[in-house]
Amino acid sequence: MRLRVFTLLASSFLSVSAVYACGEEGRVNNCYMFSTYNRNEQTRYIEQNVSYWKRYTGNRFTDEQVLAQLNNSGSESTDANLLLNYLKGKGDKNGVEYLEKLKAVKKAAKLNENRWNYPTKEELVQNRKDWTEIYNFAANKLKGKRTPLSNRYVLMAMRGAFYSGKDDALGQIWLSNVKQVHEKDIAAQCQGYLASNWIKTGWTEKARDFYIKTGSLNDLRATFPQVITTKTIKDIFDKYPESKSFPYVVQDFLNSSFSNLNAAEKNSKRDSLTKIELVRFVKFSGTAATAGTTQSALWLSARAYAMYLLGADKKQVLKALQDAQKVKSTARVAYNTRCLRLICSAEVENIDAKFEAMLTKELTWLRNTAAKEKCYYDYVYYRFRNHYTDVMDHVVHDILVPRYIELQKPVTAAILANVANELNETQSAYNARCSLIKRDSTQKGFNGDYRTDVFRMLDTMSTESVINYYKVLTALGGTPFEQSLVPFCYSNNSYLCDIIATKLMREFQFKPAMEYLKKVDSKYVTEMNSLPYMAYSFTPEFWVYRNRQKVDPKLQKKPYTNKMNFCKQMLKLEDAVAKAQQKQKLDAKYAENSYLLAKAYIQASPKGACWALTNYSWSVTQDSAVVADNAYIKRAASLLRSAYSADTGEENMVRCLSGLFFLSYNYSPSSDQDKLAKLLWKLKDTPTGEARKINKCDVLKHYITGNGLLF
- Residues 338, 341: Cα–Cα separation, whole Å: 5
Domain assignment present for 81: no
Tens of pLDDT along 385-423?
Answer: 899 999 999 999 999 999 999 999 999 999 999 999 888
Tens of pLDDT along 79-108?
Answer: 888 999 999 999 999 999 999 999 999 998
- Residues 4, 162: Cα–Cα separation, whole Å: 13
Domain assignment present for 60: no
DSSP state of 12: -
Dihedral sign (CA 589, 590, 592, 597): positive
Question: Does residue 29 register a pLDDT over 80?
Answer: no
Question: Does residue 5 register a pLDDT over 50?
Answer: no
- As a three-state string, the secondary structure of 186-252 is HHHHHHHHHHHHHHHCCCHHHHHHHHHHHCCHHHHHCCCCCCCCHHHHHHHHHHCCCCCCHHHHHHH
Per-residue pLDDT, averaged over 474-503, amounts to 93
Domain carrying residue 528: 524-706
- Residues 586, 599: Cα–Cα separation, whole Å: 18
Question: Does residue 28 register a pLDDT over 70?
Answer: no
Tens of pLDDT along 288-309?
Answer: 999 999 999 999 999 999 999 9
The listed range with the strongest mean pLDDT (17-31, 48-62, 147-161, 404-418) is 404-418
pTM of the model: 0.78
Domain assignment present for 153: no
Domain assignment present for 678: yes
Domain assignment present for 644: yes
Domain assignment present for 657: yes
DSSP bridge pairs for 377: 384
SS3 377: strand
Domains of the chain: total: 1
More confident residue, 440 or 149: 149
Tens of pLDDT along 135-171?
Answer: 999 999 999 888 999 999 999 998 999 889 888 888 8
Question: Phi and psi of 695, rounded to 5°?
Answer: -65, -10
Question: Does residue 549 register a pLDDT over 60?
Answer: yes
What DSSP line would sit under 116-156, residue for residue? T----HHHHHHHHHHHHHHHHHHHHHTTS---TTHHHHHHH
Per-residue pLDDT, averaged over 42-48, amounts to 71
Domain assignment present for 218: no
- Residues 189, 159: Cα–Cα separation, whole Å: 9
Residues 6+ apart with CB under 8 A from 600: 538, 539, 566, 569, 570, 573
pLDDT band at 272 (very low <50, low <70, confident <90, very high): very high
pLDDT for the residue numbered 329: 96
pLDDT for the residue numbered 526: 83
DSSP state of 39: T
pLDDT for the residue numbered 42: 58
More confident residue, 535 or 527: 535
SS3 376: strand
Rg of the chain in Å (alpha carbons): 34
SS3 384: strand
Contact 664, 676 (CB under 8 A): yes
The amino acid at 188: A
Question: Does residue 268 register a pLDDT over 50?
Answer: yes
SS3 78: helix
The mean pLDDT value of the chain amounts to 87
SS3 370: helix
Domain assignment present for 622: yes
pLDDT band at 612 (very low <50, low <70, confident <90, very high): very high
What percent of the chain shows pLDDT beyond 70? 90
pLDDT for the residue numbered 434: 41
pLDDT for the residue numbered 436: 37
pLDDT for the residue numbered 707: 81
73-82, 233-242, 641-650: which has the minimum mean pLDDT?
73-82
